[in-house]
Amino acid sequence: MKKKVLCALLVAAMAAGTLAGCTGSGATDGGKVLNIYCWNDEFQRRITDHYPGYEEVDETTGKIGDVTVKWSITPNQNGAYQENLDSALLKQDDAKADDKVDIFLIEADYALKYVDSEYTMAIEDLGITSSDISDQYTYTQDIATDSEGKLKGLTWQGCPGVLFYNRAAAKEIFGTDDPAEVQEYVKDWDTFVKTAETVKEKGYSMVSSVNDTYRVYSNNVTSKWVVDGKINIDENIMKWVEDSKKMVDAGQTGTHALWSDDWSKGFYPEGKVFCYFGPAWLVNFSMAADQEGSIGNQGGWGATEGPQGFFWGGTWICAAKGTDNASEIKDIMLKMTADEEIMKGIVVKDDDFVNNKPAMEAMAEDSSYSSKILGGQNPLSMYCAAVETLDLSNLSAYDFGCNETFQNAMKNYFDGNATLDEALDLFYKAVKEKYPELTY
Amino acid sequence: MAKEQAKRKVVRYNKWGYIFLAPFAIVYLIFHLIPLITTIGNSFFENYRSGLKQIGPTFIGLDNFIELFSNPDIWLYTKNTLIMWILGFVPQIIVSLLLAAWFSDPSLRLKGQRFFKTVIYLPNLIMASAFAMLFFTLFSDGGPINSILIQLGILEEPFKFMSNTWSVRSLVAIMNFLMWFGNTTILLMAGMMGIDTSLFEAAEVDGATSTQVFWRITLPLLRPILVYVLITSLIGGLQMFDVPQILTNGEGEPMRTSMTLIMYLNKHLFSKNYGMAGALSVILFFITGALSLLVYKISDKKNK
Amino acid sequence: MGFKKKETKKGLNIHVRRFICYVVLILITFFCLFWFYILFINATRSHGEMTRGFTPFPSTHLLENWHNLLTESKLPIWNGLINSLIISTFTAALCTYFSTMTAYAIHAYNFKFKNAIFTFILMIMTIPSQVTALGFVQLVDTMHLDDTFIPLIVPSIAAPVTFFYMKQYMENSLPLSLIEAARIDGSGEFHTFNSIVVPLMKPAIAVQAIFSFVNSWNNYFTPALILHEREMKTLPILIAELRSADWLKFDMGQVYVMIAFSIFPVILVYLFLSKYIVQGVALGSIKE
């Protein structure tokens, strides 16, 4: 998510072709050092603030009992984090006990690369049962489930997304800013595209960029990117192409990248953008709510379900095979992702939407909880509903590469620099560069 | 007899050539040659990673090369690279020579030379990624360049700089130009220090015009440095990477018309495709090597 | 007679020419300094203000951004500054000294394979660094040199591009007769190199020192793969870390302040070294 801001060039690549030394042994206990690999200090702050018994020693070390916790932070830029993690994991078998990776964090975009590998331990092998984590949202587990159905990572965050609309614009266009009524205008994609015309007539863009809606379409696919080694484009993805082309040609949206200046101009009334798609963190922290004159600052956003449910973001905790701190990892996972009290603490302290149904449902019922940015609306029940319907069983390890490549290739089509066929050819070619084993 | 002795003496001195060469050779062998041999070796193998799964290495002979050459894309990327290099290099060498000539021209007596000489190199101090961030801001659809052009009545609606082949190529060239012309000027200026001042004095006494001094004295004496500038710029141009990579988010937009050879190489590195990357580097190595040697030989001959 | 005529012709031209020079120079100066200006502007703006797009006027958040960078980000920026300084200084020093030495070996001596070696170095200059970087990191790993500065500094001893420049520069500026004279005076070869050749090469060394210092200063990728310990990280890694902060902490204001902060030292180093070049050229021309 945020790491992609502005620069996100995926340079990737280092660490020469050492052969992966085969499977490591299972987990053992009693290690003196717990090594955690991550790309920023978000999880470190959560542990420091919420994990009982964690003592901070200095910025990169801590203690849990007599186990030393070592944080190894490599920024994401240019793919350096994955690069570093990959080489550490590939060396896992030969590493000294105190140097072995114990915990590493991953993001949804590339989760399956690690989940679907032998370097990640199944949760059940740590002794965590499905009843321990039954309060978590299913989608968060789908993302971290490998192709054999084994769950291999847990998260404390839920990042269900909704549609945020500009209330002033809604009043001007539809005569109402009531979420239920606005929902009627955006309830499915065909209606959404039709509404875009009306919105355009009043001088607004429907969404800032076609890349805003992409995530929603791609979260609702009915087939995987790769079927039997062949690249496969899902119907819903092609629907995105069709709808987006229509909207771009009619001037109802743009093709710029997320986080660009052009994209964020709709955070302000002068930007004349009708809606954005995103989870709670987007509207709370990334849409300039602290900035005078912005829509968020005036409480001018409304939230509604939108055409389809989706999620955006989140960080998963994985245990590395060969760890010598299995019991600590188990405890950290349980406390940080399944302990209702701690989860509530995270909501209060850090404003995360946590991965715990009872905690979030209680908050959703709470009439005293309302969002100023959303003009007093309590959106939590909407997030909860959105997340229930999400079916992410069609994720694959190729998602990260394919989604990014697809959006980039189609931009050429939308901008009129290529025909649809040319853009598709470019997509196939580019995917094959990333994954030489695929065919099309 | 004396000749013999002198010869032996020279030979004795010449062993120092090896001694002075040793640090370079040792460090090169350890830190550069081993990785290089690995690279060349890799070009004959199928060897990549899918996720965390290693595929290969399997010996496949020249298959990687055949695949690269059977694909017309490599020529497109070569063309892109050369176009963007020339677009940036031509103004760069002209401006650099012009500035170097002005700064060394005694009759002009330019004030504030120190200031100007210092300022021209400054853009090179900004990291390419930071530089690109600023370019994005300026050239975005709603950015200041577009609004100025619209206010002046030159444009009706915002021009999408990042979705047009020639505007992207030009932006890449402009960035490269800004980042490197100071570098070239400094090289030339430093080179001019080696020129004997009395030559200029003599020329002025003889009534030579500035233009004459420049073409007849400065330029010929600068030849070794000019050769250096030309060759390193050619090599740097063929290896052009960071500016277009960051500016187009690694995609060479639109439709890969601004994708350079190294950006293409980098695509293969995403999947740790050492086979293809190795083959591509071997090809690149031959192209640049041949071109550089050619330039060097030509200019060297003229020198004599 | 003819001499005088030319003199007047030149005199007529000179004002126009000088005028053109100044116009061009001022234009160029503008395009060179403009970027520093917007960097500065952005460093004075808060993250929220930045989502509004570009403005040509500074805002009021400079100190606030700086303060946030020091306290909130928790990044060891002073450590980073020192690490960057150490690495870049040693890189520049070793690179220029040993490149000069290598160039001198080729320039001043005659030995077997001299031309072959020269051609060989020219050839390796053309190898794209991106490719060997892969094997390089692996090598560093097997040598257990990660988390040290050695793999970032020592390889610069073998810098073909710098060598090539030194070699070209010597062709014009280092007459072999000078070395002969030193030999006759009984100076040892090594002593001749250090006390005669190196001082003569000062402008070239200054130029290449700047280049390699700046290169090393702005290098992100290799250090990011070799340095993992927090205290060992360099400034570009810390900037990247700021940019990959999570959404609660992400703050472009801090990023720009950090970029501005990390440019300062390199400007100072540049001003210091450029003295040798700028003064040198002034000596080369007649007056001033």
Percent of chain B with pLDDT over 90: 18
Within a domain: A425:
no
Q: Is A394 on the interface with C (CB under 8 A)?
A: no
Within a domain: A428:
no
Percent of chain A with pLDDT over 70: 94
Sign of CA dihedral B31, B36, B41, B43: positive
User: Looking at the structure, do residues A238 and A97 belong to the same domain, yes or no?
Assistant: no
User: Looking at the structure, do residues A239 and A348 belong to the same domain, yes or no?
Assistant: no
Give the one of B54, B246, B253 whose C-beta lies nearest to A20's C-beta. B54
User: Looking at the structure, do residues A55 and A165 belong to the same domain, yes or no?
Assistant: no
Number of domains in chain A: 2
Nearest C-alpha neighbor of B277 from the set C129, A103, C203, A250:
C129
Give the mean pLDDT of C256-274: 89
Within a domain: A306:
yes
Q: Which chains touch C (3 or more CB pairs under 8 A)?
A: A, B
pTM given for the model = 0.85
Cis-peptide into B57, omega within 30 deg: yes
Q: Is the pLDDT score of C286 beyond 50?
A: no
User: Looking at the structure, do residues A347 and A294 belong to the same domain, yes or no?
Assistant: no
Q: In chain B, positions 36-65, which contact chain C (CB-CB < 8 Å)?
A: 36, 38-39
**How far, in Å, CA of A287 to CA of C51, rounded?**
8
Pick the residue with more confidence: C51 or A171?
A171
Contacts of B300 (CB under 8 A, 6+ apart): B227
H or E stretch at A273: strand A273-279
What dotted CATH number matches B72-303?
1.10.3720.10
Q: Coil, strand, or helix at residue C38?
A: helix
Q: How far apart are the first and last CA of chain A?
A: 29
Nearest CA distance, B137 vs chain A (angstrom):
7
Give the one of B140, B190, B239 whose C-beta lies nearest to C280's C-beta. B190
Q: Coil, strand, or helix at residue A162?
A: strand
Of the pLDDT bands very low, low, confident and very high (cuts 50, 70, 90), residue A5 is very low
Q: Is C109 on the interface with A (CB under 8 A)?
A: no
Residue-range definition of the domain harbouring residue A287: 160-311+369-388
C266/B31 Cβ within 8 A: no
Cβ burial of C146 (10 Å; 0-12, 13-18, 19+) is: middle
User: pLDDT per residue over A219-258, tens digit each?
Assistant: 999 999 999 999 999 999 999 999 999 999 999 999 988 8
**How far, in Å, CA of A178 to CA of A392, rounded?**
30
User: Looking at the structure, do residues A205 and A353 belong to the same domain, yes or no?
Assistant: no
Nearest CA distance, C104 vs chain A (angstrom):
35
User: Looking at the structure, do residues A359 and A377 belong to the same domain, yes or no?
Assistant: no
Q: Is the pLDDT score of A7 beyond 50?
A: no
Tokens at residue A221, please? Answer: 């696919």
User: pLDDT per residue over B79-125, tens digit each?
Assistant: 999 999 999 999 999 999 888 888 877 677 788 888 888 888 899 88
Q: Is the pLDDT score of B194 beyond 70?
A: no
One-letter amino acid of A425: D
A418/B254 Cβ within 8 A: yes
Nearest C-alpha neighbor of B80 from the set B166, B3, B161, B138:
B166
Give the mean pLDDT of A320-345: 92
Sign of CA dihedral B60, B63, B65, B67: negative
Chain pair A-B, CB pairs under 8 angstroms: 120
User: Looking at the structure, do residues A240 and A137 belong to the same domain, yes or no?
Assistant: no
Q: Is A41 on the interface with C (CB under 8 A)?
A: yes
User: Looking at the structure, do residues A164 and A153 belong to the same domain, yes or no?
Assistant: no
B163/A12 Cβ within 8 A: no
Q: Is the pLDDT score of A38 beyond 90?
A: yes
Q: Is B150 on the interface with A (CB under 8 A)?
A: no
Query: Which pLDDT score is estimated for A26?
Result: 54
**How far, in Å, CA of A270 to CA of A66, rounded?**
57
Chain pair B-C, CB pairs under 8 angstroms: 295
Q: Is A285 on the interface with C (CB under 8 A)?
A: yes
Kindly report the CATH number assigned to the domain that includes residue A126. Answer: 3.40.190.10
Within a domain: A408:
no
User: pLDDT per residue over B18-47, tens digit each?
Assistant: 899 999 999 999 988 888 888 888 889 888
Q: Is the pLDDT score of C5 beyond 80?
A: no
Report the chain C residue with the minimal C-alpha distance to residue A350: C248
DSSP count for chain B of H helices, then E strands: 14, 2
Of the pLDDT bands very low, low, confident and very high (cuts 50, 70, 90), residue C6 is very low
User: Looking at the structure, do residues A93 and A153 belong to the same domain, yes or no?
Assistant: yes
Give the mean pLDDT of A28-49: 89
User: Looking at the structure, do residues A166 and A138 belong to the same domain, yes or no?
Assistant: no
Q: Which of A34-38, B268-272, C177-181 has the highest mean pLDDT?
A: A34-38
Q: Is C220 on the interface with A (CB under 8 A)?
A: yes
Q: In chain A, positions 388-417, which contact chain B (CB-CB < 8 Å)?
A: 397, 401, 408, 411-412, 415, 417
User: Looking at the structure, do residues A17 and A145 belong to the same domain, yes or no?
Assistant: yes
User: pLDDT per residue over B4-14, tens digit each?
Assistant: 555 556 667 78
Within a domain: A379:
yes
**How far, in Å, CA of C265 to CA of C83, rounded?**
12
User: pLDDT per residue over C34-91, tens digit each?
Assistant: 999 988 998 998 888 887 777 888 888 899 889 988 887 778 899 999 999 999 999 9
Pick the residue with more confidence: C266 or C74?
C266
Pick the residue with more confidence: A124 or A291?
A124
Within a domain: A280:
yes
| Count of other CB atoms within 10 angstroms of residue B293 | 15
User: Looking at the structure, do residues A133 and A74 belong to the same domain, yes or no?
Assistant: yes
Q: Is the pLDDT score of C198 beyond 50?
A: yes
Measure the CA dihedral C114/C115/C116/C117, to 10°.
50
